[in-house]
Every structure is written in C-alpha cells, then in structure tokens.
Structure 1
C-alpha cells in the first residue's frame, strides 16, 4: 500500500479510537505539545517567562550587591566609642566690621546619657513620632519606602511622616549632609543598614538621642532639656519629653523660644501618637502641655535679626565645610545700638518698628527687625511685606523726570478721575497750579496720579524694578500711591541708588569668611557699576527729596546737615515710613502692627522720621558734611537749538510766536515784532553803509528811486494775533 494510504489508514484508526472514547463518556486526550498536530506556545508567554526569570535573577543580584555594599560600609564605620566621642556641629564666630566679636554660634552639649539613664518616656516619645517600626526594621522601613514611591508616582501627600527612619537620620547626622539627592538618599540607606548590622537597637537609639539637633544650638536631649526647661534630661516629664521629641522635625519652627504655641501644638501630636501606639494611657495623653514651665530667656541684642538674615547665605557662598569659621560682617556695633535705641524709643505702643541702614556701596551698617527679638524673631526689615504709601512716589517722579519734567515745571493739583479711580489728598483740598517740587515735597496725591497716568503705570513699575524692587508690582492706577506691598530693605536699596548718584546698589552683609586659622574662604567683590538713570534725573530727584525734608512732610527728619528723603503713610494709619540719606548713609524706617491694624497717630512724618533723625545723628557724626548736587543739566535732545538764542538778563528775554509777534515777559497780549519776519532783520535798524560810501565804492550814482538805506520808513501794518491759552 502507498504511504498516502498508510497515512489515511492511521488517521482513520485514530478517529475510530477517539469516537470510541467519546462514546464511553470520556473526553478525548489532547495532543501533546510537541506533536506534529499540536499548537506551539504564544510568543507573549515566552517573553513573559523570560522576563520573570530575568527579574528574579536581577533581584537576586541586587540583594547580593546590597549585602556586599552594607558589609563593606559596616567595616568602614568607626567604633562605637569613636562615634560617641565625636560631637557634631560647626562653630561660627560672627564679627563686626571692626573685627570685634558679635556672637558665637555653634553646638552646645549636655551630659552624655547611657541608654539606661534615658527616661523611657523620652525614648518612647521619639520612637512614636519619628519611627514607630524602629524595633522591627533593618535600618530602612519598607512600608515608608513604598509609601514614598507611591507618593512620588501619584503626587499624593497623604502620609504625615517622612521617609527616613531614626537609623537613617543618625547616618545622615554622622556621615552625610542634607542635600536631597538620590545619590545621598541611597548612601543614607546603605549606611543605615550598616549601622543596624554593626550596632544594637539600644546603641543606635542612645547615639541618636545624644547627638540629634533640637535647635538653639542644643545637641542631644540633655542639652535641650537644660536649654528649654532648666534641668537635666533625667528629670523629663511626659509633657516635656513630648515637646523635645516634636522639635526634631523642624527645630526652628517648633522651638518653644521662638513660638510657644507651635511647640505646644506639635507636642500634642506626639502625645496622640504615643497613646495610639500604646506607650502612654489616655489620661497621660491629656497632659496640659501649655502648662509646662519654660526657661526664661535673657534679653538678646537685636543683632540677632541681622545674623538670622546673613548666616543662611553661607550655604550659597561657601563650599561644604565642617571646620570652625569666622564671618566678618559689615555691621557697625555703634550704629546697631543707636538703631535699636531709635526704634525702641520712637515706635508707638502696640506697634512694631524696623530699620535698615546702608553705606554708599550697599554694606549693611545696622539692621533691626523688630522691637524685641526674644518676643518675636520675625524679621520685619527683610521679610515683612507692607504697603509703602507715598514713599513709592520716588518711582513715579523718577519716571516723570526721565520723561522730561523738571522740578520747576508747573503742574495742577485738581480733582482727577482715572479709569474710575478718584485719588484724593490727605487734607481733602486742592491748591491748583503749583510746581513739581512743591507737589512732591507736600506729597500731593492728585499730581502723582496725573504724572503716573501720563508716563504710564507700566513705566512706573519698570522704574521700580530697575531700582531693585523684586516684589510683585501691580499696574492699576492706585499703584502710584504705594498700593503694592514691598520689603523695607528693597525700598532702602532704591533710595540708596539715588544717594549713589544713580548707580545700582546691592545690599550685602558678609565682607569675608575665613577659617579659624585665617585662611580666606570668601571675599566680597564689588559689583560692576550699573547706572540706572541719567545724571540729570538723579539731580532732579535729589532736589525733590531734599525739598521734602526742608519744607515738606519730612521736616522731622532734619539733622543739621543736608538730608534728602520721603515719607510714606498708608490708609487708616496702618503703616508709617521714612527713607532718606545724608553723607553717604541711606536709612529706611518702617512702623506698624503685624496684624495690619490701624495705629492711632502713625504718620511717616512723625515717629518714623523722628527715629530716622535719632539714628542718623549718630550714624553720620564722624562723616564730612556733603552738599547735594541738584543742578539739572538736561541732555541735548531736550534742549532747543541755540543758533538764534537771545542774550541778556532773564528778565529781558522775549517770546516770539509763530506769526512773528513779540510776547513780552508777564504780558498775555502780543506786541508787533520789531523784526521783518520774511527778511529776518530789524525793520528800524540803521543801514550797514551810507549812500555816499556806496556810490564811491561802486563808481556810479545810485538811481534816484533808491532810498537811503539809513533812512527808516514806516513799517507795513502787522496783524496782531492773540496767543492760544494753555488748556
């Protein structure tokens, strides 16, 4: 039989057997996958199988690599006794401009407490708030880590705690910095597991509680306890332990010396977590944290406002270093004391005051951020955003002067409406026609509004930006009266640029930084001069500012030598400003309430101007008297061509209108011009030569009809035209 017949016979036999099986009620067997008639596995399953095997292999390799990395890191970690002896923190000595030490900042350490000496309450409070699975994980908390990954993918912020365990925080404090990079976090995790490999949980917690930073220079729980509660950590109560444990997350924000209520609220969170995790009873969790007796803080010099502002800049200007350093600042100790006294003596009751004083190069000579640093360390000189009132008119008039106005130009104080806005003067009256100098000196609002509208509110905003205002500025019409909030240091910087003859000024507080051994780490460099406006604009603005102090709203700022400045008062007396300069020193003063409520009687020309004068008398006492340059020399593009200029005394000048009519000084009616408009020569002027001379020179006789040029004739009639009145 042929092969084809054999195949058909075999196929028929297989069909018969399958039919027999089906008749017997059993399912037919499936063909094997390797048979000629079987179905091959799909490509997707093959790749899936390979992927699972590859992932498993990669995971095994990763675990092996991690174990090796942890083991190697554990070998490099110093011994427990070495870690115990090494104290963290960096000592910083801050010096004044004359080299005298202002303050020394750095770590303070209490007694080292062994694990058994640390109160159980303190240990439990720290574990409850910082790492509730501390006793069970291997240095890294998988639950927290997973939550952080999900959070990063979804953008959620549901978790209340951070991702770092107590062991990770210890690793960071001992070996790393606070940079939030993936590389640093990976090293932190490896070191944390290495610490768990090498030390016990008790040793890790002992190291942590004796080395963690609690704010105010206090490292370790014993130092914190002595700083905040005036007793050693072995005597901590439940409420006190909750306060200390709550500080780790943000020492400056929750410090009881800075914000008692914030510290109390954070401690209540710690107590709740301790109760939820079974460390304390419900009755213990109800302890009145607000009743905890805090250590009374001795009064601190207001220079701390300055150091709080300037020291964070070290992170920007210095490379990472942990060795002791000395920061040489621009502060003048005598001026700082005078500024503090001026603010304390002149600030109205219930209000706050701030002062910034700059040298001509931008160096900060004095900085006061409030009336009492201990009561409130909020820096109102560099941080507070307040409306500047009429001191903002500096930029309005700068724009007007740049556009061609001069201090002598006439303006009109009259009621105006701009896009529905109706500015009014503080006295409710209008004086009519006046000059620019008077309008600025007496801070006439309607004139400032008209000038701002004429030059453009965007132009005023641009001028403010040009002079160093970095805060957001609106371009609504009311902006000309100071409706945009700014910082005191910004406004002082702008006025300092006028004192510096139009050159931009950048405030700075650090002159140089050295190591304790004298090695120079940083030196301030003078920026390149940046002229902001032309000389004639600076001269005109100085003229206006000087007039405001001599005869205007800033008379209380007079100190017996030339002073230029401007007052500022916001609606309902919520803010009072005075900013001015003399002998190269520019000083800005602000007063008001933190809650922006009205302060009865507060005006820029009163308490702020008086504080300015009290400080400036001391600040410039050793400096030579400097007269201001107020000579306005307009550029050529603003001057008329002088080919036809008339010379003589100013009272002899005449004005010739377009029709050739003479307008005498002080007269509105024109008189006939003595000039022939077409020939451009006087009608009655004598002849240049006599008739006899001309005949002799020409060798002939002049025609009889030729008149003697020396003999005047009656001028033709001239049409008298009345000049147009100004609208």
Structure 2
C-alpha cells in the first residue's frame, strides 16, 4: 500500500514537472503556426517573379539619327543604367543623405529606425525617416503605399529577400533608375538629361549633390521652381558627404561656391516632339514587351527639325495674322521615305495635335500629279494637247484661278499653269477610275470620291502621305512608305538590328519618271511655284483648296522631299493665301538652309546610313506576322523544336 502510494506521488511529481515544458512547447508551436499563417496571408500576392526580373515595364529610349537623345515632352525615363555607369560622386551623395549604413545592413536598419525615432521625438515632428534604400525601392516599384499591417509585413520580408537575391549594387542601381526627381523625370539618367542635358556619367559634384537632395521631396527642392531651396538642400547633402568621410571639407566648400554655375533648364518641349509622338508606336513595336530598356535610333536630323520649327513659327508670327493663317505643318524626308523633320503645327506646347500626320485636308492642285501620271500611263505625252475651256458635267463647271481659259494647251502647260478646266477634262478622258488607281500606286490610301472634282483635289489626304507620294516620283519606285527607325538594340544585346523601309516598292515608275519630274520642274521654273525656287534643281506642285481654306507646296530637290501646308484648324478661309505664296516661301527657305548643311550627304544617303558590319536587318512587321513567338529584342522566334532562331524575312 505504501509502495503504491509512493509510486503515485512520484508519478504525480513527474507529471507536474513536465507540464511547464509541454506548455512552452505547445505555445511555441502555436506561435509558429500563427506566424506562418500570418506570413502566408501577407505574402500570397507578392509578385516574386516580377520583383526578381526587375522593371515591370519596358523602357524605350529614342535617339536622333546621329545618336543623341530625343527627349519627349512630358514624363520621361531614360535608359537603365547599371551600377558601374553611375558616377562615384552620385552614389556617395545618395548614400550619405539617404542611407549611410546601406552597405552594412540587411535591408532593414534597426539602428537607423531608433536614430530617426529619437530625432523625431526631439523635434516634436517627423523630420527624419528610418526607411532604407531597399525599403524605398520596394515602395517605389512593388507595393502600394497603404500603411497596413499586411503591407508592412510584405515590406519587411521582401527587403530581406531582395538583399539575399540581388545584392547591394543591383538594389541601388534599381533605386537610382526608378526614383522620381520632378519635371517628369523618372530615374537619375532621365533627371541628368532633363535638368542638365548631360549623360549621367558626366555629372559634376554640385549637380550630383543637387539630384541626391531631391530624392526626398522633388517638388519642394526642384531647382527650376525653387533655386534657393535647392541650393540649401545641396549644401545639406555636401555636409553629409563630409560627415560620411566621402569628401573633404575644402572640396565641399568649393562645390558650394560652384553651385552658382549649376544651370538646370526648364524642360520645355524638345525639338522633334511631334516626330517623337509619331515614331513612338513604331518604336514600341520593335521593342516588344521585353523588360528593360531598348534604344531606338530614329531618322530625325535635329538641325533640319530646328530649321523647320523656326521657319513655321517665324512665318506665322510675321504674316499669320494679316494673312488669316493660324497653323502650318512641314514634313521632310529622303526619297527613300526616311522622315528627317516633322513639324505638326505652330507650337507644340500649345497644341500637340499633329497636323502633318493626323489632319485630313483637301490637297487642291497638288493632287493633279496623279491625274497626269494616269494620263502618261494611258499613252499620252507632254506635248499632247488638252482643251482648256468651259466644261459642264452634270451641272458642275470647273473654273480656272483668276478666270479665263487658254484653249488648246499641251499637257506640260496645263500642269505648269495648274489649269483646272484642262485637268478635269484630262481626268475625264483617262477615266476617274484610272486616276484613283494612279493615286493608289503612289501610296495614297485615303478615301477618294469618284467624282469629277476629284481631279482638283477635293478628297482629303494628310501631308505625310502626300509628301511620300511625291517621294515615289523622285525615287522612281512606288509606294514609298514613310519610316522613322534606323535600328534598335536591347539593353542585353550587343548587336543592333536594322529596320529601315518596310515596303517592297513593287511599282517601277522609270518609264514615266522623267516626264513627271519635268512637269514638276516646270511648275517651279515657269509656273505657279516660282516662289519656291531655291536656286538649284527643284520640282514640285502648288495646291489651293476651295475658298483658300488650304494652301500647299510639295516637291523635292536632289536629296530631300518636303511638303508644306498652311491653313486653320477650323477650316476658316485665309485671306487670299495660295500654294504659290506662303507655303512655297516656307518650302524655299527650308530648302536653302537645309541644302547648306555640310553633312547633307548623310541625309541624301538615307538619313544616317547604317553600318552593315555592326548590325543586321530585322523586318519586325513581317516577322511578327509570320511567327507568334517572334521576339523583337533579338529578332528571333521559337521553332517547334530546338533553340530560338533569327528571323530572316
């Protein structure tokens, strides 16, 4: 009995001794389960794959024909820069002011959090944050800004994961490429271009300190709107660099003194904005959806673009009001169709509507080139005669400008003098269907009404297509499709891929080219286009729509094909303006300045001819139609078996 009692007491003591340990173990297990449940709940929708890959969207970087950056108006992000491409002074400035212990902590810095908390308590307000650069990158690119428990858990876990997955240099590079710095600039490369028109590697110490200081509050310390505030903030950054041992006090003082020479410029519309708007969809097609930056070299020649923009602005400022003209547009291209300049209106900042591409207007007598091309195809010659006399077609009678008729005239004289009655009679003789077919052959795809007035340009077209049609005549092959991309190269590729013209130009115009050029040359030499004569070989045609609502001159010299339109957006009549006046004078002045360019041979050969030894051709349009797996970034597709192959269409 006693033994039994002793056993029971001993077992009871052993049970009591084990109970606290079991409770602790059970509590730990329960805590672990709860923690795992919370982490599962918080992290289930984190885009781990996208975070690991980097940027969530492709970046397209446009360049001019010579390889200089083509910066669009509005939001702008430059090419991604690797860690090695950022200058040491910029990295030192950013780390000194943003996250001094960045290279030591593991994504979250408890020391920095407590330091910020202490200073905020001292100040009685939030004067310093405790977020690391890793956490700031997470906020910028991967998570929303909600201050919830779920988001805080996500931020903490992702910070540790990024430090393990990417490493310090990649995290810092991503941050410097994605931070917003005001004036539409996202990323340090874009800010260097917007504010200082510099490549990121060429920043001076004061400029680097200024940009680093803007990271916290780009609108508050924007040097364009608050230069004094930007100066004070720059001095704070320079002092932080001294405290961090990155620069000497004497160098900091020299940089503070040099701030007076820092001259950030207001990001006004850059030259070529209309062109950039037009070419961007094409650039997006060649870049595809690959993440990262793709550099796209365009056909734009900055000097020619600047000439065109200035001529349009100056002409309208001087004569626009008295002539009742509020808008104008200009397109310049090579005979092969490379668009080297595009002016879509009077002032891009005031109106981004591109009148060179989007506006559909009546071309007037510039359309007659298609009538006379159809006549040549029908077997007529320039010496054949057509009757310029009153004509009645179902109650409609065309009239010549200024009245009067010349009777029987040669085709050459009818075209040079832009005789309306003779042109309508000629169109009736060769057939309107054939006139429409001729326009289609030369690249006009707008709706063309099969009515007698078609011969006088009453069906609307746009300036870009009409200019390209005249380029077909100059080239001797049709159609010429306007194009704006020379080549492109993805960030992860060492080789550029040529794009260039995409149309096969199946129509041979050589049997009629000499006569068509002779007709157009007569217009400039002895006809309605004498005001366009630049003093060298030139050929072109004037055009004026009914009631002087539109006035045109389209033509070419040896290296360039240029079209000019003037008018009003509301189609209000101008005050007697004809194609032989203001448009012809703009055309003449543009050609005179453009033809004086010492580097015009480059333009004549196709706007910065591509070096075959450093690039390969890639027909993006044909390849994307042929292969669903086509990838523009390296011009490859995935066959049914084996590795990806280069598309050679």
Same-fold call, TM > 0.5? Answer: yes
Unaligned runs of 5+ in 1: 1-67, 113-170, 176-190, 204-209, 233-295, 625-727
SS at match of 2:556: strand
Q: Are 1:106 and 2:61 matched, yes or no? A: no
* 1:585 is aligned to 2:556: no
Question: Which of these residues, 463, 481, 504, is aligned with residue 506 of structure 1?
Answer: 481
Number of equivalenced pairs: 416
* Long gaps (5+) in structure 2: 1-38, 79-96, 99-137, 156-177, 188-214, 228-264, 602-649
Matches within 5 A, 1:547-558: 547-558=522-533
> After the TM superposition, which residues 418-433 of structure 1 pair with which residues of structure 2 at under 5 Å, given as runs?
418-433=393-408
Q: CA RMSD, aligned part only?
A: 4.3
Is 1:375 the counterpart of 2:350 in the alignment? yes
Supply the distance in 2 between the matched residues of 1:301 and 1:199 (Cα, whole angstroms): 40
Q: What does residue 97 of structure 1 align with?
A: 65
The equivalent residue for 1:384 is: 359
Which of the residues 151, 157, 170 maps onto 1:199? 151
Q: 1:315 aligns with which of 258, 276, 284?
A: 284
Q: How does 1:431-510 map to 2 (within 5 A)?
A: 431-510=406-485
Q: Tell whether the 8 Å contact from 1:74 to 1:195 is kept in structure 2 after alignment.
A: no
Distance change in 2, residues 1:493/1:226 (3 Å): farther
Deviation at residue 77 of structure 1 after TM alignment: 4.6
When structure 1 is superposed on structure 2, of 526-535 and 560-569 the one drifting more is 526-535
How many Å apart are 1:306 and its aligned residue?
A: 0.8
For residue 331 of structure 2, the aligned residue among 350, 356, 359 is: 356
CA contact (8 A) 1:407 1:543 kept: no
Post-superposition Cα deviations, 1:431-459, rounded to whole Å, max 9, x if no partner, equal 11111101000100001111111222222
Contact 1:90–1:107, Cα closer than 8 Å, also in 2: no
Question: What's the CA shift for 1:572?
Answer: 1.6
Instruction: Determine the C-alpha separation between the residues in 2 that align with 1:371 and 1:466.
Output: 32
Alignment check: 8 A CA contact 1:352 1:592 kept: yes
SS of 2:481's equivalent in the other structure is coil
**Secondary structure class of the residue paired with 2:320:** coil
**What is the DSSP-based 3-state SS (H/G/I as helix, E as strand, rest coil) of the residue aligned with 2:580?**
coil
Distance 1:541 1:404 in 2: 13
Q: Normalising to structure 2: TM-score of the pair?
A: 0.56
What is the CA distance between 1:387 and its match in structure 2? 0.8
Q: 1:221 to 1:564 in 2, by over 3 A?
A: farther
**Partner residue of 2:308 out of 333, 339, 354:** 339
CA contact (8 A) 2:363 2:458 kept: yes
Residues 364 and 457, structure 2, Cα contact 8 Å, conserved in 1: yes
Distance 2:560 2:472 in 1: 11
In structure 2, do the counterparts of structure 1 residues 78 and 366 end up closer, same or farther at CA, with 3 Å as the change threshold? closer
Deviation at 1:223, TM superposition (A): 6.0
- Kindly name which structure, 1 or 2, has the bigger radius of gyration based on alpha carbons: 1
Quote how far apart the aligned CAs of 1:460 are: 1.3
**2:498 aligned with 1:523:** yes
Go from structure 1 to structure 2 and tell me whether the alpha carbon gap of 1:313 and 1:342 turns closer, same or farther (over 3 Å shift): same
| 2:340 aligned with 1:365 | yes
| Alignment partner, residue 31 of structure 2 | none
| Separation of aligned partners in 1, 2:461 and 2:280 | 23
Following superposition of structure 1 onto structure 2, how do residues 24-423 of structure 1 map, counting pairs within 5 Å?
A: 73-74=44-45, 77=48, 92-103=60-71, 106-107=76-77, 198-199=150-151, 216=184, 299-347=268-316, 348-350=319-321, 351-423=326-398
Q: Is the 8 A contact 2:62 2:70 kept in 1?
A: yes
Rate the CA distance shift 1:202–1:376 in 2: closer, same or farther, 3 A.
farther
Q: The residue matched to 1:600 in structure 2 has which SS?
A: coil
Higher helix share: 2
Could you say if the C-alpha distance between residues 427 and 224 of structure 1 is closer, same or farther in structure 2, counting changes exceeding 3 Å? Answer: farther
Corresponding residue SS for 1:308:
helix
Q: 1:477 to 1:528 in 2, by over 3 A?
A: closer
